Amino acid sequence: MVQERIRPRYVGLLNFISRIFALFVGFAFITLVSRKLPVEVFGAWQYFSSVLTYFVIPASVINFWATREAGREKAVGRTTLQLSFLTSLVSLSFFLVLVNLNLFMRTEISNLVIYVFALWIVAYFVTTSAEAINYGLNPTLNVISSIVFEAVKLFFGVLLVVVFKLSLLGAILSIVLAFFFEFTFFVVMNPKMLSGNFDRTLIRKWIGNAWLPLITTLPGFISSLDVIFLGYILGSSSVIPIAYFKAALTFGSIVGYAGAISFAIYPKILKEGIDNSKSYIEDIVSLTNMFGIPMMFGAIILSEPLLCILREEYSVARNALILLSVSSLLGANRSIFTSVLLGSEKADEKVSSFSKDLVNSLLFKLPMLDSINSLLYVVTLALATIVLSGLKAEYEFFATALAFSNLLWNLVFTFYYFSKVKSLIKLNLPKNSFIKYTISSLVMSVVLVLIYPKSAVSEKLFLVLYGVLPVILIGAIVYFLFLLLIDKNTRVLVRKVVLLLTSLTNSK
């Protein structure tokens, strides 16, 4: 298999730019769907999306090892994809059995849509496995594939939801088709990812140590209990607070897109080691917060009109959005720290079966800490839900409780992981840069308050977009212009980006 020389700054910035592009396309899709669906149906969709995470857990086992093996230049493509497809059929069958036994919460979703969800399982398995292989080999392809996925999803969303009026069925089919096109993109752009033979020895190694990547899925497994717990306590009416929370999360997670800049750190450390990576990591932390801090301020100030993009009735979840914006910035930094810690671990290099070395490694300890984090989140949420339910609180307060629980424990564990990385490579946070990013963000915030789009708090999508988009653009311009005035490093970065774009243009 062919690998590129991984350049984390270049790939990270490219990934961030592509994520922003994919963000707008993705929001066009989610806005399209959310405005065509009643709140109850949208909430039911989010419920089943959470349920399906349990049926794709085996994919994480395969993908975990595929990335680490491919990153160390082993030909694992064919083994990975064949194993992923076969496993997906087992998960699909299990899902359909449980559906027919009526073991899930009753929702507004038809059986036909549920069967398309089953097809989504297969598409998810094979496509994410292709992503995992290429992440170890050539992460630049993963950057471009996200654009392919979002563009195809939007195209079929318009075709199936708007033109053919297939509602939620069309939305889910659009996602399945987007997975198919993304997988095809990987095969066409890197056919050597299919190299290698079906290696039974390798599969035995992966299965023998499946407990390790399964441990990495445990945090998500636990945290997904949040909406399921709401469903248990509140019954069918829980789909409304779930919808509020997911709407807030849709925009709160935008801040986390700043973490896309750290995309290439993990494969780089896997391939080249951590010894000479200190300056890279500090640069990536700085770049992440250069974009993340103003995005957080912007999401906080524009929380209400942003939620109106989906539907005006979601604007009541603005407090949840504010909390999730802060939490997402913490999460973007936390992802850097965990990537550094996991990428630096070498305990699995020469392991062929169960080993105590793996139990004592960061590959085991970090997921266990993340699981404790998720457990504390769910317990905190559970207590808040019981109290709010007893008080017969409004639905938006449940969404706020979810967001607060998320922020509280994300804050604690992010600072803990930073301390671990700092002890490993004596990492220094660029405090002076953080101060400049914050000052520039405050200047931007003043401008946003002065030109706050009150007319955007509306059910009419045209009024919302007409009010919000120009304000976002003006805010971004103000932030970067002020930052250019006060920060020399930003001026140097801009010159490098211009030179890079010029060289790419000339090469064509």
Which pLDDT tens digit goes with each residue over 83-103? 999 999 999 999 999 888 877
Distance (Å, whole) CA 252 – CA 276: 34
pTM for the structure as a whole: 0.74
Residue 264 burial (10 A CB sphere; 0-12, 13-18, 19+) = buried
Per-residue pLDDT of 26-70, as tens digits, reads 767 877 777 777 777 777 787 888 788 889 989 999 999 999 888
Do 15 and 143 touch, CB atoms closer than 8 A?
A: yes
The yes-or-no verdict on residue 71 having pLDDT over 80 is: no
The yes-or-no verdict on residue 132 having pLDDT over 60 is: yes
Per-residue pLDDT of 438-495, as tens digits, reads 999 999 999 999 999 998 888 888 899 899 999 999 999 999 999 999 998 888 878 8
The yes-or-no verdict on residue 327 having pLDDT over 70 is: yes
Residue 18 burial (10 A CB sphere; 0-12, 13-18, 19+) = buried
Do 369 and 217 touch, CB atoms closer than 8 A?
A: no
Residue 399 burial (10 A CB sphere; 0-12, 13-18, 19+) = buried
How many residues does the structure list for the chain? 508
How confident is the prediction for the chain on average, in pLDDT?
85
Mean pLDDT of 419-432: 85
Distance (Å, whole) CA 321 – CA 302: 10
Per-residue pLDDT of 176-188, as tens digits, reads 999 999 999 999 9
